[in-house]
Amino acid sequence: MLIDQFAAYVGQQAHAPLPDDVQHHARRVVIDWFAALLAGVPMAPGQQLATAHQQEFGVGHSSVIGRATTAFPALAAWVNGSVSHAAEFDDIFRDAVYHPGCPTIAAALALAEHRNASGADLLRAVVAGYEVSTRIGAAIQPAHYRYFHTTGTVGCIGAAAAGALLMAPGNAEVAGHAMATATTFASGLQQAFRSDAMTKALHAGHAAQTGVLAAQVAAHGVTGVRDILEGDAGFGAALCGSANWDIATEGLGSAYNVTRITQKNHGCCGHTFAAIDAAMRIVRDHALDTAKIAAVRVHTYQVALDVTGNFTPTTPFEARFSLPYVVAHGILRGAVRLDAFEAQRLADPSIRALMQRITLTADGELSAAFPRQRAARVEIEMADGQRHAHFAPYRLGDPEAPLDDAMLADKFMELAAPALGTVKAAGLLDALWRLDERPVRDLGLHALRAG
């Protein structure tokens, strides 16, 4: 059964040395997760979760990051997982249409602190969670994404794999039961993307919390259904109809998906990135006078339009999922970072005017290539009739054009320094680059307060 194959891998991964490049990429995804989380601390739903659970803080060893307190592992994972998804700077595994870091790292960190694990063990747990969940996610796409948010569904399984490695290192039996139990609690509906409600971010926190709880109870004898993935009434049948399970274990333990993660360069929905990149490239390459743009034509894949085709965003959340808004902002401001969603930018008449000159078209070939390619072709027409076009076959931050270590560090400092101050942010970044050299508790995360 598939769960047994994944469980054998998780059991073996607990004590196997990671190849140097895999360990380096594991550090990179942890650093990127912290950047996304620290950017999200002052945002909804983090503030609301902190208020709702304040009487449950101050116990245990698992840090509620940015609030200078602790909680028991499941609650810490719930809060940190949700907060890390709030700012839309979290990582992506393209083939699965999935943000693996939010649930996997939130769960792994909570249990690593709880168990006083080493940084090296945390990295092994993160890798295990990424490898299991990205493969399951890829096997159920694109059908799964029609109704379900992969981060909320598959994220439960990744979190459970990471958690089991920390709760019972080397015990494949525990890993199998943890993943099987978590799978039956997988949830998260696409409708949550389509309003200003806070639910979408909670999907990641719920997945992290589910993984923690499943790992804890499996370590104490609670069993799960071993054919929960491929059974007649199991995960694949219910949540995608016809999964391609043949690819689910391909390369497991030898070819590491953690080395092929997309790390965001823009603070919005990843479906918009190729169009932003192409539009900004045209403006830069041709030194365009943006005041003289007559029309912007975006051709991309259908799912991008389904999720982000909103021409009338009124809130920061809606703007992050508005392809016209972020493309217009990128053209006029040269970037789409946190300040793109401040009130004055949302009301900027020049951005709103340019949005009305943007048209969106679904391209058949690009739609057919989804999810393994996220491409866009943009044409900008000037008032004098000149036209300039660019095709972006992938996004900056994708495996084909990754953010290098320096760019990743710059992103971390941009997002973390406002929360922690420059000195503390730089210190945390240095410690995370050397995470495998110390126990996780030595990072002092329980004392970090975001200002």
How much is the pLDDT for 48?
98
How deeply is 253 buried, as exposed, middle or buried, from its count of CB atoms within 10 A (0-12, 13-18, 19+)? Answer: middle
pLDDT at 311: 98
Beta carbons within 10 angstroms of residue 258's beta carbon: 27
Mean pLDDT of 328-341: 97
Q: Judge whether residue 437 has pLDDT over 90.
A: yes
Q: Which residues contact 177 (CB under 8 A, 6 or more apart)?
A: 218, 222, 223, 224
- Residue at 82: amino acid letter: S
Q: What pTM did the predictor assign?
A: 0.96
Q: How far apart are CA 5 and CA 3, in angstroms?
A: 5
Q: Report the alpha-carbon distance of residue 421 to residue 395 in Å, rounded.
A: 30
The two three-digit tokens of residue 95, written as one number: 């083939």
In this predicted structure, what is the pLDDT of residue 451?
A: 84
The pLDDT score that the predictor gives to residue 249 is 96
Q: How far is C-alpha 210 from the geometric centre of its chain's CA atoms?
A: 17
Place of tokens 């000037």: 382
Residue pLDDT, tens place only, 58-112: 999 999 999 999 999 999 999 999 999 999 999 999 999 999 999 999 999 999 9
Is a pLDDT exceeding 90 seen at residue 195? no
- Give the CA distances from residue 385 to residues 275, 323, 388, in Å, rounded to whole numbers and listed in that order: 21, 24, 10
What DSSP line would sit under 222-245, residue for residue?
----TTTTTSTTSHHHHHTSS--G
Residue 214 pLDDT > 90:
yes
Nearest-angstrom CA–CA distance, 212 and 17? 24
Please give the full DSSP string across 53-64, using - where no structure is assigned.
TGGG-S-SSEEE
% of residues, the chain, pLDDT over 90 = 98
b/e string for 80-103 if b means 16 or more Cβ within 10 A? bbbbbbbbbbbbbbbbbbbbbbbb
C-alpha 147/C-alpha 188 separation (Å) is 9
**Is the distance from CB of 436 to CB of 53 less than 8 angstroms?**
no
Average pLDDT rounded to a whole number, residues 160-175: 98
Per-residue pLDDT at 196 = 86
**pLDDT tens digit string along 252-276?**
999 999 999 999 999 999 999 999 9
**Is the pLDDT assigned to residue 194 strictly greater than 90?**
no
Largest CA distance in the chain: 72
Percent of the chain at pLDDT above 70? Answer: 100
pLDDT digits (tens, 9 = 90+) for 114-153: 999 999 999 999 999 999 999 999 999 999 999 999 999 9
Which pLDDT tens digit goes with each residue over 215-247? 999 999 999 999 999 999 999 999 999 899 999
Spacing of C-alpha 221 from chain mean position = 31
Exposure class string for 292-305: b at 16+ Cβ within 10 A, else e? ebeebbbbbbbbbb
